[in-house]
C-alpha cells in the first residue's frame, strides 16, 4: 500500500476507535492493539513529516508551548443564563414565556466546567476558544486538541460549523490528580471545575494533555447551509456527526420538568462529572427568536441552581489523619446521612482553627453539606441539642502515626508531623529524596517507590541502599535489567555532595540554596547536626525560623536514626564542593541577561564557590551586577544606583584562578563600593 494511503487509513481507523472509546464508551479493540496502530502511524509520519497534519491522532499529546493566548472575538456571543433558585422562580420563568400557551422545553444537566467554542471549516477543527466575557475569549486550540472526545475531523460536516460545549474534569480523574499532587507536595485543586479551567489555560499543551479532560457539546452556535426548527434536532444532528452531545429530556409538561429537575438533583452524585444545576430552555428555535434576549442573557432559557443539600447528623468521634506532607487533618465521624446521592459518614474539619471557630465537639448535633457537591463538611453546630459534659476539641501534640512532635505552620493554618521516618509521609518523602535536585536517583519515580513500599521492601530512605536485585526484579513492570539499572543509580547517589543529601531530607525551609550554604559552612553532617540556633542564624540566608526547623529536625530521634542508617549504608555525609576560596566573601552579586558560556544558575554557583552571595534583585546592598545580552531593568537600576557592572568577559576573568586576571576586576568592584 502507498505510504500516504496507509497513513490516511490508519488515521481513519484510529479516529473511529477514539469515537468508540471516548464518546460511546464502547471500545472494540484492546489498548495494546490501539497503541500498536498509533505507533505504526507515528513511524510512518516520522518517515514522511511533510504529511503530518494538525488533525492527526498523533498530534493529541500536546504541541509546542505558547508564550500567551491570543484573543478570539466570538462570531456568535457565548451568553450566560439567568439563574432560578426555587420551583416558584422556575414557574415565574415559565409563565413569562408560555403566556398560557403550550411550550416544549429541553432539560439538560448543567455541567460545572469551562465553556468553550469549537470552530470547524470543511469538517476540520481549526480553532477553539474559551467563553471569556462572552464576546471575546482566549485561543486554547492546542489544549483542546488534547481532549480525545473532540473530533479533529468531522465527516459529512457543513462548510462552516461552530459548536459550544463544556470542558470538564471527570471526578475520578480529579481524585487521581489530587493524589499525585499531594504525593509531590503540591497544592491540591479545590474542585474539578477549577482543575479543568486551570488545565485549559496551561501555556504548555502537554500539561493539558496529562489532565484527562473531557467535553460535552450542548449547542450549535453557527452553521452554514443547514437550518433547524428545534434545538433537539440540532443536537441529534451533532450526535450523528459523532460529537459527544449532552443528554436531554424533551417535554411540554412543566410538572414533569419539575420532577426531573428534582431527580437530577437527587442523583447528581452519580454523574461522572460535577453539575451545579439544570438547564431549562425552549426547544423551538423560532419561538426563541421571538422571545429575544436581554443585555445579559436570553429570555428563553434558565439555569435552575441547586442549593447545597444540608442535613443534621451527630458527631460520634473525631479522628486525625496524617497526610503525605505531614499535615494533620481532623475528620468528624458522623451518623450516616444521605447527601447528593451518596451516604455520608465522615466530614472534613480542615484544621484546628475551623474546629475552634465553630466550637465542634464530640457528641454535637451538626448541619452537614457537601462542599462543591463532593466533600462533606460541617456548616454549623446545633448548640440547642448539645449534650451535657462535652468539651472543646484540641488536635494532638504528637503525631498519631509515629509519635513525633507536631508543630504549627508559620501561617498558623495547619499542624504538621516532624517525623523524618513517619510511615504516613513515606511515599512523599521518598519521592522527594529520589528527585533530581535531591539525591537524583534515576528510575526511582513515584510508581516504583509505591511498588517498593507495598512490597514491604522500603520503610525509610535508608532501606533503598540495602535493596537486592532479585527482590526488585520481582516487582510489576521491572525485571532483571531494570532492577540492575535502578540499583546502579542508587549506588551512584551515595557519592553525592552533602548539600544534595541535606535537601533530600526535606527539612522545612531548607531549599537547594540553603542546603549548599550549610554544607559549605559546616563541611559535614555530623558537625551541622550539633549546631545551635545562634550559630545557624549567623549565616547569611539562614533566618531564625529556618534555624529552629533545623535544630528541631536534628534533635528528633527519627532523624538521628535515619542519619545513622544512611551513614552505615555508605552514603556520603561530607561536603565535596566546599568553597575553593573566599576572595568574594562579603560581596553580593546579581546576574541578569543571557550569558554565552554558562547559564545564570551555573554562573551563580561559580560565584558562591568563591564565597559570594547571589541575589535575585538589585538594591543599595548589591556589590556588583553581571550583565549578559538583553539585560533589562536590573541593569538600569544598577546604573541608577552607581553599582559596578561586569560584562561576561570580565566575569570570566573574576572567577578565573589567575590572580593577574581576577585581581584588577576585584579591585574595581571593591574600590567602587
User: Catalytic: 637?
Assistant: no
The number of beta carbons lying within 10 Å of the beta carbon of residue 337 is 18
Residues contacting 340, CB < 8 A, separation 6+:
268, 269, 309, 370, 373
* Strand-pair category, 342-348 with 365-371: unpaired
Return d(Cα 505, Cα 433) in angstroms, integer: 7
Contact indicator for 411, 402 with CB cutoff of 8 Å: no
Do 505 and 460 meet the contact criterion of CB atoms below 8 Å apart? no
Secondary structure class of 366 (helix, strand, coil)? strand
Please compute, for residue 258, the number of CA atoms within 13 A of its CA located in the half-sphere on the CB side.
13
Please enumerate in sequence order all residues whose Cβ is within 8 A of that of 88, keeping only pairs 6 or more positions apart, or say none: none
Q: Do 161 and 224 touch, CB atoms closer than 8 A?
A: yes
C-alpha cell read off for 344: 455520608
- CA dist 112 and 192 (Å) reads 8
Any residues with CB less than 8 A from the CB of 321 and at least 6 apart, and which? 328, 329, 330, 331, 424
Q: Which of 110, 281, 613, 634 is catalytic?
A: 110
Residues 6+ apart with CB under 8 A from 580: 609, 610
Distance between CA atoms of residues 250 and 108, nearest Å: 9
Q: What are the residues whose beta carbons fall under 8 Å from the beta carbon of 83, sequence distance 6 or more? A: 277, 302, 303, 304, 305
Q: Which helix (H) or strand (E) holds 276?
A: strand 275-282
CA angle 255, 257, 258 (to 5 degrees): 65
Kindly report the backbone phi and psi dihedral angles of residue 473, in degrees, each rounded to the nearest multiple of 5, phi listed first: -65, -25
Q: Which H/E stretch holds residue 310?
A: strand 310-322
Structural contact between residues 90 and 84, judged by C-beta atoms closer than 8 angstroms: yes
Q: How far is CA 441 from CA 75, 184, 504, 617, in A?
A: 52, 16, 11, 33
Distance, CA of 13 to CA of 25 (rounded, Å):
16
CB-CB contact of 160 with 120 (8 Å): yes
Active site (catalytic) residues: 110
Amino acid at each position: 500500500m502507498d505510504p500516504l494511503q496507509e497513513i490516511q487509513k490508519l488515521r481513519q481507523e484510529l479516529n473511529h476507535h477514539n469515537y468508540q472509546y471516548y464518546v460511546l464508551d464502547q471500545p472494540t479493540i484492546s489498548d495494546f492493539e490501539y497503541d500498536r496502530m498509533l505507533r505504526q502511524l507515528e513511524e510512518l509520519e516520522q518517515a514522511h513529516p511533510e504529511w503530518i497534519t494538525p488533525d492527526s491522532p498523533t498530534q493529541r499529546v500536546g504541541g509546542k508551548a505558547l508564550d500567551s493566548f491570543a484573543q478570539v472575538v466570538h462570531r456568535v456571543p457565548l451568553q450566560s443564563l439567568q439563574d432560578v433558585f426555587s420551583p416558584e422562580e422556575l414557574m415565574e420563568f415559565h409563565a413569562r414565556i408560555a403566556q398560557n400557551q403550550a411550550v416544549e422545553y429541553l432539560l439538560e444537566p448543567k455541567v460545572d466546567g469551562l465553556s468553550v467554542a469549537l470552530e470547524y471549516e470543511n469538517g476540520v477543527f481549526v480553532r477553539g476558544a474559551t467563553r471569556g466575557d462572552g464576546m471575546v475569549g482566549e485561543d486554547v486550540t492546542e489544549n483542546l486538541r488534547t481532549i480525545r472526545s473532540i473530533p479533529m475531523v468531522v465527516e459529512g460536516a457543513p462548510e462552516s460549523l461552530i459548536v459550544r460545549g463544556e470542558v470538564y474534569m471527570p471526578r475520578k480523574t480529579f481524585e487521581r490528580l489530587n493524589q499525585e499532587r499531594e504525593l509531590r507536595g503540591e497544592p491540591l485543586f479545590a474542585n474539578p471545575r477549577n482543575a479543568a479551567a486551570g488545565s485549559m489555560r496551561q501555556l504548555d499543551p502537554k500539561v493539558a494533555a496529562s489532565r484527562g479532560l473531557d467535553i460535552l457539546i450542548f449547542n450549535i452556535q453557527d452553521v452554514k447551509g443547514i437550518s433547524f426548527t428545534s434545538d433537539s434536532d440540532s443536537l441529534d444532528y451533532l450526535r450523528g456527526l459523532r460529537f459527544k452531545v449532552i443528554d436531554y429530556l424533551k417535554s411540554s409538561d412543566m410538572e414533569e420538568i419539575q420532577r426531573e429537575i428534582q431527580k437530577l438533583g437527587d442523583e447528581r452524585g452519580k454523574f461522572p462529572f460535577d453539575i451545579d444545576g439544570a438547564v431549562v430552555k425552549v426547544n423551538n428555535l423560532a419561538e426563541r427568536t421571538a422571545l429575544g434576549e436581554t443585555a445579559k442573557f436570553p429570555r428563553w432559557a434558565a439555569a435552575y441552581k441547586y442549593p447545597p443539600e444540608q442535613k443534621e447528623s451527630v458527631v460520634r468521634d473525631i479522628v486525625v489523619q496524617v497526610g503525605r506532607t505531614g499535615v494533620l487533618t481532623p475528620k468528624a465521624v458522623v451518623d450516616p446521612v444521605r447527601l447528593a446521592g451518596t451516604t455520608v459518614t465522615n466530614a472534613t474539619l480542615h484544621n484546628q482553627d475551623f474546629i475552634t471557630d465553630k466550637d465542634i465537639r464530640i457528641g454535637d448535633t451538626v448541619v452537614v453539606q457537601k462542599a462543591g457537591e463532593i466533600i462533606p463538611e460541617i456548616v454549623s453546630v446545633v448548640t440547642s441539642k448539645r449534650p451535657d459534659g462535652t468539651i472543646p476539641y484540641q488536635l494532638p501534640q504528637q503525631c498519631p502515626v509515629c509519635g513525633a512532635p507536631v508543630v504549627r505552620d508559620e501561617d498558623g493554618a495547619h499542624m504538621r508531623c516532624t517525623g523524618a521516618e513517619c510511615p504516613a509521609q513515606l511515599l512523599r518523602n521518598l519521592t522527594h529524596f529520589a528527585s533530581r535536585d535531591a539525591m537524583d536517583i534515576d528510575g526511582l519515580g513515584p510508581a516504583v517507590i509505591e511498588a517498593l513500599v507495598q512490597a514491604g521492601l522500603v520503610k525509610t530512605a535508608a532501606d533503598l541502599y540495602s535493596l537486592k536485585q532479585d527482590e526488585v526484579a520481582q516487582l510489576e513492570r521491572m525485571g532483571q535489567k531494570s532492577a540492575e539499572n535502578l540499583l546502579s543509580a542508587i549506588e551512584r547517589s551515595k557519592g553525592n555532595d552533602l548539600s544534595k543529601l541535606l535537601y533530600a531530607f526535606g527539612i522545612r525551609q531548607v531549599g537547594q540554596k540553603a542546603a549548599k550554604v550549610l554544607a559549605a559552612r559546616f563541611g559535614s553532617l555530623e558537625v551541622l547536626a550539633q549546631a545551635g540556633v545562634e550559630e545557624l542564624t549567623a549565616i547569611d540566608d539562614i533566618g531564625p525560623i529556618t534555624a529552629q526547623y533545623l535544630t528541631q529536625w536534628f534533635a528528633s530521634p527519627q532523624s538521628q536514626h535515619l542519619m545513622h542508617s544512611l551513614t552505615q549504608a555508605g552514603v556520603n555525609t561530607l561536603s565535596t564542593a566546599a568553597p575553593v576560596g573566599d576572595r568574594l566573601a562579603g560581596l553580593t552579586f546579581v546576574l541578569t541577561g543571557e550569558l554565552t558560556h554558562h547559564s545564570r544558575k551555573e554562573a551563580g554557583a561559580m560565584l558562591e564557590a568563591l564565597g559570594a552571595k547571589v541575589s535575585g534583585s538589585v538594591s543599595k546592598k548589591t556589590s556588583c551586577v553581571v550583565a549578559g545580552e538583553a539585560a533589562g531593568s536590573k541593569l538600569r537600576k544598577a546604573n541608577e544606583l552607581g553599582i559596578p557592572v561586569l560584562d561576561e568577559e570580565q566575569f570570566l576573568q573574576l572567577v578565573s584562578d589567575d590572580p593577574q586576571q581576577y585581581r584588577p576586576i576585584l579591585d574595581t568592584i571593591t574600590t567602587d563600593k
